[in-house]
């Protein structure tokens, strides 16, 4: 399939600028067209690369009869300058007309230069349309598949700004201080100078490029390759123990010294895990599917597929939602193709999937309207930590958070008790559940704040002070059988048949199946009295499959306190603050909050908040954020010109916030361009609920969600334009 495509691609001409000379050599190894390993010319910011040109041969010999040529090891090979710009420019060609050989200046099987990816990043950064970004990314992937398929996995990881699957917990863990020190030492600058430039430019990548471009070197290190960069990132992430920070710094220096052109910009951004080029992972997955289709020149899609490119993108996204591991997906794509991907990559215990999420709703009547002629069920919405519990056939257990973080060490009591709850016939399973702080003496659910006092790692059974209860509401896998495509009523029966309840330790979520408004209203009241947040309403028998990583219309959430307003709280990121006055002198008096736009990788201001803080909480949050102060706003902050906080923050915290309603704003930029072409959306009367320690800034409420919440409000002029703002499929 794709392997055949690669063979055929090698028969094509390379570039109108540089033809591949014919060779008389019959060595088992294919002669490389161009060798990028020789040193780049002394210019520290080149667009041309000097490479050794292969010797041409006019000899014609029958296949299998050619003898090895005798070569003079001291003979100088002529060099030719390649204009990288001309190669990279081809990435903008529409995929249907794109020839991968025209974008690559390296030979078949040679390691992909990091400059190729850095230039692609630069090109993508300059675009705003998702279709164009998808096309460029598709062409990048096709070029790698055609020339150096062995590098595809590493290229995909770098495009995703990752170095490993989320559940492995392998992160670079590098702060700006280490990067500044490494940059200063690598370039012969002072840390003070680097910090000043950082303050002026606001982007450490731009700082690296500025300093590196002015540095001359007696001898240039070999050009960076994708493999070199990725492997070094792995070494950095795995460095531990004594002198680990020093080793990390030295690894970083080795990359900086070899970086050319725009490479320093993207090395720094990758090391910060903040690429900021508006390449969302969903777009990458679509591009990967399309690249696979174009590369499968000898394999046709199934006859029932009318739009292969669109379908391939959906397949890759769907497979990644249940197997979020590129190490499995990429080899399967290369060996068996995209049309077999769903068969070759299967959902199994030990690899967490993104949880299915619910959309907010304002009241019971809205639920009845949305689920007309459908059987639906209501469940208590518990105020704890969403957890995915994996029980393997060998008896081992892993517990994952909603962000795929391994929380097994946080809940040793749950791990120890699990065998007691499952029935003997159960050999393996994956549960979707909520772990809640619980008072077993009073048989009462405790607030989330109590649960958050538990240590995050290395919890010892003897030191546990906060007991927990597991409230299970779904089962996704049982005894070797994935259940994601089963309807909820089937999954629920498997759940009930496979486990025994133990009050205060393991219980099923409390449920009600009814379409009677009065009954649902009473059930909502009962959930609040039971210390729950409200209800989750789910389709039961139809359109009731489990949709990983998706906020689905088939799950709705109803919270008591905001039934007559926005219907849900928002998770927002503080990006700035205003100094307090009067009683609040010495602390921040108000904060500028933002939602997150994943498509453009930017934080968009949504409100100022100064209520909901006790004196202790205000002091705590002010103290925590003082260490995150930055001199100028990040380039990926979007806010009105009239908004001028006294200080700006590095995005680091997520706050749960409630508000009376949402309104169109000329000042704030949340969801700008979605509901109104020029104006954003802001919150009226926001107040702080709590700190969300289980969420990263990029997990904050999205701009699409903000727009949807605005549209779903009663009595706003935009409501009839669209019932729901759908997420990407």
CB atoms within 10 A of CB 525: 11
| Separation of alpha carbons 55 and 75, rounded Å | 11
Instruction: Provide, for the chain, the percentages of residues in helix, strand and coil under a 3-state DSSP scheme, each rounded to the nearest 5.
Output: 35, 20, 45
Domain ranges of the chain: 168-272, 357-562, 570-721
Q: What is the pLDDT of residue 79?
A: 44
Residue 436, both tokens: 């809640």
Residues ≥6 apart with Cβ < 8 Å to 718: 675, 710, 711
Provide the whole-model pTM: 0.79
Q: Which residues does 679 contact at the CB level (< 8 Å), separation at least 6?
A: 664, 665, 666, 672
What is the residue-wise DSSP string for 2-48? Answer: HHHHHHHHTTS--BTTBPPPP-----SSPPPS-B--SPPPS-SS-SE
Residue matched to tokens 């927002």? 572
Instruction: Name the stretches of the chain with pLDDT < 70.
Output: 1-82, 217, 297-299, 561-567, 714-729
- Look at the block and give the residue holding tokens 């949504």: 606
Catalytic-residue membership of 381 = yes
Give the residue among 418, 296, 280 at the shortest CA–CA distance from 349: 418
Tokens encoding 37: 């390993």
Q: Residue 62 corresponds to which tokens in the numbers above?
A: 């029958």
Q: Find out if CATH 2.40.50.140 is the number for domain 570-721.
A: yes
Distance CA 426, CA 639 (A): 53
In the prediction, which pLDDT does 566 show? 56
Block residue for tokens 């030492």: 185
In the structure encoding, which two tokens stand for residue 147, read together?
């020339």
* Angle subtended by helix axes 152-159 and 114-125, to nearest 10: 30
Q: Positive or negative CA dihedral for 106, 112, 118, 123? A: positive
Read out DSSP for 705-716? HHHHHHHHSTT-
Q: Which entry of 18, 111, 282, 381 is annotated as an active-site residue?
A: 381
| pLDDT at res. 66 | 41
Q: Quick one: CATH architecture of 357-562? A: 2-Layer Sandwich (3.30)
Contact assessment for residue 472 and residue 466, using Cβ atoms and an 8 Å cutoff: no
In this structure, are residues 568 and 559 in contact, taking their beta carbons and an 8 Å threshold? yes
| Contact assessment for residue 353 and residue 322, using Cβ atoms and an 8 Å cutoff | yes
Q: How many residues does the chain have?
A: 729
Classified by CATH at the fold level, domain 168-272 comes out as DNA ligase i, domain 1 (1.10.3260)
**pLDDT, tens digit, for every residue of 211-226?**
988 877 677 889 999 9
Contact criterion met (CB below 8 Å) for 724 and 370: no
DSSP 566: T
Question: Please, are residues 725 and 707 in contact by the beta-carbon 8 Å criterion?
Answer: yes
Going from the C-alpha of 293 to that of each of 95, 103, 109, 302, 326, the distances in angstroms are: 11, 19, 21, 12, 18
Q: Answer yes or no: same fold for 168-272 and 570-721.
A: no
CB 182 within 8 A of CB 174: no
> From the CB of residue 401, how many other CB atoms can be counted at a distance below 10 Å?
21
Strand, coil or helix: what is 513? Answer: coil
User: How many degrees, rounded to 5, is the angle at CA 63 between CA 58 and CA 65?
Assistant: 85
Q: Two tokens at 649?
A: 């923050």
SS (H, E, C) 184-235: HHHHCCCHHHHHHHHHHHCCHHHHHHHHHHCCCCCCCCCCCEHHHHHHHHHH
């Amino acid at each position: 399939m794709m392997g055949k495509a690669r063979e055929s691609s090698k028969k094509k001409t390379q570039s109108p600028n540089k033809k591949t000379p014919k060779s008389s050599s019959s060595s088992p190894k294919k002669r490389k067209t161009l060798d990028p390993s020789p040193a780049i010319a002394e210019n520290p910011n080149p667009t041309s690369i000097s490479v050794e040109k292969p010797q041409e041969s006019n000899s014609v010999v029958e296949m299998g009869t050619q003898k090895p040529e005798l070569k003079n090891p001291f003979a100088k090979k002529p060099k030719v300058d390649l204009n990288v710009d001309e190669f990279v420019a081809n990435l903008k060609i529409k995929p249907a007309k794109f020839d991968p050989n025209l974008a690559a200046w390296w030979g078949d099987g040679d390691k992909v230069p990091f400059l190729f990816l850095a230039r692609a990043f630069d090109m993508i950064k300059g675009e705003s349309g998702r279709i164009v970004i998808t096309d460029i990314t598709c062409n990048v992937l096709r070029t790698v598949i055609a020339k150096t398929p062995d590098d595809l996995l590493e290229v995909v990881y770098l495009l995703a700004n990752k170095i490993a699957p989320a559940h492995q917990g392998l992160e670079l863990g590098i702060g700006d201080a280490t990067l500044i020190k490494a940059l200063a030492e690598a370039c012969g600058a002072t840390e003070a100078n680097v910090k000043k430039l950082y303050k002026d430019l606001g982007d450490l990548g731009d700082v690296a490029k500025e300093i590196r471009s002015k540095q001359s070197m007696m001898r240039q290190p070999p050009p960076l390759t994708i493999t070199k960069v990725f492997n070094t990132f792995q070494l950095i992430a795995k460095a531990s123990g004594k002198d680990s920070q020093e080793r990390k710094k030295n690894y970083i220096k080795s990359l900086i010294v070899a970086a050319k052109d725009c490479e320093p910009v993207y090395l720094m951004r990758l090391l910060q895990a903040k690429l900021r080029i508006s390449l969302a992972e969903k777009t990458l997955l679509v591009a990967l599917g399309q690249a696979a289709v174009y590369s499968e020149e000898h394999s046709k899609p199934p006859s029932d597929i009318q739009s292969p490119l669109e379908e391939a993108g959906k397949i890759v996204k769907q497979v990644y939602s249940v197997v979020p591991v590129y190490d499995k997906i990429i080899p399967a794509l290369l060996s068996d193709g995209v049309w077999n991907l769903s068969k070759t990559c299967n959902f199994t215990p030990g690899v967490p999937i993104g949880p299915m999420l619910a959309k907010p709703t304002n009241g019971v009547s809205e639920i009845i309207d949305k689920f007309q002629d459908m059987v639906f069920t209501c469940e208590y919405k518990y105020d704890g930590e969403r957890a995915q519990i994996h029980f393997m056939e060998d008896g081992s257990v892993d517990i994952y958070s909603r962000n795929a973080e391994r929380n097994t060490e946080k809940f040793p009591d749950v791990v120890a008790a699990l065998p007691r709850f499952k029935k003997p016939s159960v050999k393996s399973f994956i549960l979707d559940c909520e772990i809640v702080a619980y008072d077993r003496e009073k048989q009462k659910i405790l607030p989330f704040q109590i649960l958050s006092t538990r240590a995050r790692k290395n919890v010892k059974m003897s030191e546990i002070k906060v007991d927990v209860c597991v409230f299970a509401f779904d089962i996704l896998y049982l005894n070797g059988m994935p259940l994601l495509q089963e309807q909820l009523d089937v999954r629920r029966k498997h759940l009930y048949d496979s486990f025994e309840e133990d009050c205060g330790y393991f219980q099923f979520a409390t449920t009600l199946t009814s379409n009677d408004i009065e009954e649902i209203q009473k059930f909502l009241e009962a959930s609040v009295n039971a210390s729950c947040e409200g209800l989750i309403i789910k389709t039961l028998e139809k359109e009731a499959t489990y949709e990983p990583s998706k906020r689905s219309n088939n799950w709705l959430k109803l919270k008591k306190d905001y039934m007559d307003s926005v219907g849900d709280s928002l998770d927002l990121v503080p990006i700035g603050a205003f100094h307090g006055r009067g009683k609040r002198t010495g602390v921040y008096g108000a904060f500028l909050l933002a939602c997150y736009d994943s498509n453009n990788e930017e934080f968009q201001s949504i409100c100022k908040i100064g209520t909901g803080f006790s004196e202790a909480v205000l002091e705590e949050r002010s103290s925590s954020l003082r260490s995150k102060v930055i001199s100028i706003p990040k380039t990926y902050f979007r806010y009105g010109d009239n908004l001028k906080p006294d200080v700006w923050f590095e995005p680091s915290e997520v706050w749960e916030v409630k508000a009376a309603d949402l309104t169109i704003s000329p000042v704030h930029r949340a969801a700008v361009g979605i509901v109104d072409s020029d104006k954003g959306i802001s919150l009226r009367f926001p107040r702080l609920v709590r700190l969300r320690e289980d969420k990263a800034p990029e997990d904050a409420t999205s701009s699409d969600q903000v727009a949807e919440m605005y549209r779903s409000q009663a009595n706003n002029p935009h409501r009839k334009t669209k019932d729901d703002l759908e997420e990407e499929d």
